[in-house]
Chain A
Amino acid sequence: MTDDTFTTPREPQLIALNVNGEQHEVITEARRTLVDVLRHELRLTGTHVGCEHGICGACTVLVDDRPVRACLMFAAQAEGARIRTVESLADGSRLSDLQRAFSEHHALQCGFCTPGFLMLAEGFLAERPEATKEEIREVVAANMCRCTGYQTIVEAIDACATARRRACAQACHSKEN
C-alpha cells in the first residue's frame, strides 16, 4: 500500500455503447470492465462473470461480430463497436437454432457458463459455417464448463452447424432449380 493509491480520483466519465442494436450512454468510472457495465449499468445480466482474468469464458460476448472476453476489456474501449450479448439471440420468444440445439442436446446443466458458450459459438459459426466437429471442439476448449464434461456442448454446436449447412444447401439447390 502506498499513499498515492487514491490520488487518482474516482472520476466518472460518459461512455456510449451500442449493445444489441441499441445505443446506451452510461456515466461511470473508466475502470469499469465491459462485463460489469453490461451487467450492472445496463442490467443485461445474461452475460456472467466467472474469473475476471480471461480464462473461463463465462463473460464471452461479441464485439464487432467476434467473440471476446468482456472481463478483459474496459467498457471505454468498446465505444464505437457493436456489442452483442446472449439477450440478442432469441427473436422475441422464439429461441434461435443454436439456443434450441443447446437445450435439445442437454448442453447445459446449471446454465451459468451457457451464455458464454452460446456467444462463442455464435461468433465462431458466423465466421466458419463449414467448421468440422474437431474445429468446434478446439473452439469449445476456449471456455470452461464444470457440469457437462463438454461432449454435449460440442455436439449441440456441431448439430446446429450441420443443420444450417443443410438448410443452406437446400436453399441454394432450390434456387438453382
Chain B
Amino acid sequence: MKPAPFQYHRARDVAGAVRLLAELGDEAKAIAGGQSLVGMMNFRLARPHHLVDIGGLRELDRMHRDADGALRIGALTTHHTVESDPAGTLAQGFEVLRRAMAWIGHLPIRTRGTVGGSMAHADATAEWCLLAVLLDAEFVVRGPLGERTIAAGDFFLGYYTTALAPDELLVEIVFPRTAPHAALTEFAERRGDFAIVAAAVDLDVVDGAVRGGRVALGGVAAAAIRVPEAEAVLTGGGSFDACASAAAAAADPPGDASCGPLYRKELVRTLVRRACEEAMSR
C-alpha cells in the first residue's frame, strides 16, 4: 500500500497553483489536507503524476462573514477549525455547520481534512456536500481565465465528479444565508464511518411555525440531492412525519447485500424526521 511515483510541486500562492495545474494538465492533482486522496493513492486507486500542494496557501485558510452576512469559508479551512470556530464566526445562524463536523470521520481526520478538499472530492455521502446542496452554497473557483462562481446545484455532477476543470482551483465556499433552524444527521454501523444515509434539513420558521424548508439527502444517489417532494410537504404545512415519508418515497437509493434499497429508504424516513425535529429544536 505504497503510492505510485509522482512529482511534488508546492504552490506559493493561488495564482501559482492555478498556473501549475494548467501547465501540468490532466496528470496533475491539487492536494490540500489529503485525507481522501492519500488513502486512495496508497491503494493505488489514484495515481496522479504530479501533486500540487496547496496546503501552504494560508490566504485560503480563513472563515468570515461578509458585509451581507454571508459566510465565506476559505477552501483550506479544516473541519476542525469549523468545529472549534475560534472567532465565533458561526454564531447567529451557522451553528449547523459546527455541529455537523462531529459526523466527519474522527478528530485526527478533521485536523487535516479541509472544507474545499471535501467538496472537490465529492463523495456522495460527504457532510460538506450535503450542507452545500442544502444551503445553496456557491463555489468560488479560480482558473487560468480568472474567477467564476458555481452554484451548488451545478457543482456536484456525480460520484466523485464536480464541475471543477482540471486547471481550476476551488478557493472559497460561500453560504449566502443563515440557517438558524437547520440540522444534519446520519447513520452508519460505526460512528465516524461514511454514512449509509445522511439527511439534512433547513427549516423556515416564522413565529414558531414551519413555513417551508429544504431537505437534502446523501447516500441515496451519485451526489447529494435535494428532495422537492419532501420540501413541498413542509411548504404545505405537513408534519415532519409526512415530510419524512415523502422523502423516503421519493428516494431511489442504490443497494448492496448489507444495505438494500428498502432499508436505505427506511433510514431516509428516520433521518429526515430526526433532522426536522433537531432543526426545530434549535
Contact = CB atoms under 8 A, between A and B. Distances in A.
The residue in A72, A73, A127 that gathers the most chain B C-beta atoms within 10 A of its C-beta is: A72
B4 interface: yes
A53 B39 CA distance: 5
Contact of B191 (A69, A71, A124, A141): A141
Interface stretch (B30-38, B237-245, B256-264): B30-38
Given A8-B6, A10-B5, A13-B8, A57 B108 contact: yes
Interface in B76-130: 80, 84, 105-109, 111-112
Interface in A63-117: 63, 66-69, 71-74, 76-77, 80
Contacts of A46: none
A63 to B, nearest CB: 8
Given A73-B112, A141-B191, A30 B4 contact: no
A77 B111 contact: no
A68 B33 CA distance: 10
B: contact size bracket: 20 to 34
A18 to B, nearest CB: 15
A5 interface: yes
B158 interface: no
Interface of A: 5-11, 13, 29-31, 33, 36, 52-54, 57, 60, 63, 66-69, 71-74, 76-77, 80, 120, 123-124, 127, 139, 141-143
17 contacts: A9-B5, A33-B3, A33-B42, A52-B1, A54-B109, A57-B106, A57-B108, A66-B111, A67-B107, A69-B35, A71-B42, A72-B38, A74-B8, A74-B51, A77-B55, A124-B107, A139-B107
